[in-house]
């Protein structure tokens, strides 16, 4: 914060970087300069690399998903075989009914 005239204060906003000229005796803003614009445009050189990286990531996720699906069928087949073995070893019983009175 610096003084230009005896009653004027030149203030730099800490948040956005705008410059304000404030009359100290009137306690009002006399002029305002907008903060410099920050251009956050993506670098086109990096954009190509980013797209390739994302494509590789998608491909890896797809491969993992397809591998999980293959394993899923194998797991279900094994579970079915185990259940079938257990059911063959058990004696056949007549189903029971629960009667509520």
Please, what's the largest Cα pairwise distance for the chain?
105
**pLDDT tens per residue, range 15-53:** 888 898 888 888 888 888 988 887 777 778 888 888 999
| Confidence (pTM) | 0.38
pLDDT band at 101 (very low <50, low <70, confident <90, very high): low
Q: Percent of the chain having pLDDT more than 70?
A: 91
Together in a domain, 51 and 78:
yes
Together in a domain, 58 and 80:
yes
Task: Find the domain containing 15 and state its range.
Answer: 2-33
Mention every residue, 6+ apart, whose C-beta is less than 8 A from residue 11: 1, 19, 20, 21, 22
- The pLDDT score that the predictor gives to residue 54 is 95
Is 83 domain-assigned? yes
Is 96 domain-assigned? no
Together in a domain, 49 and 77:
yes
Selected residue with higher pLDDT from 55 and 49: 55
Together in a domain, 77 and 47:
yes
């Amino acid at each position: 914060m610096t003084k230009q005239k005896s009653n004027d204060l030149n203030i730099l906003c800490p948040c956005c970087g705008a410059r304000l000229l404030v009359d100290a005796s009137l306690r009002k803003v006399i002029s305002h300069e907008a903060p410099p614009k920050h251009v956050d445009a993506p670098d086109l050189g990096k954009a190509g690399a980013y797209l390739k990286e994302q494509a590789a990531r998608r491909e890896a996720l797809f491969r993992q998903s397809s591998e999980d699906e293959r394993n899923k069928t194998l797991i279900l087949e094994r579970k079915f075989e185990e259940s079938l073995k257990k059911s063959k070893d058990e004696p056949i019983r007549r189903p029971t009914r629960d009667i509520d009175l």
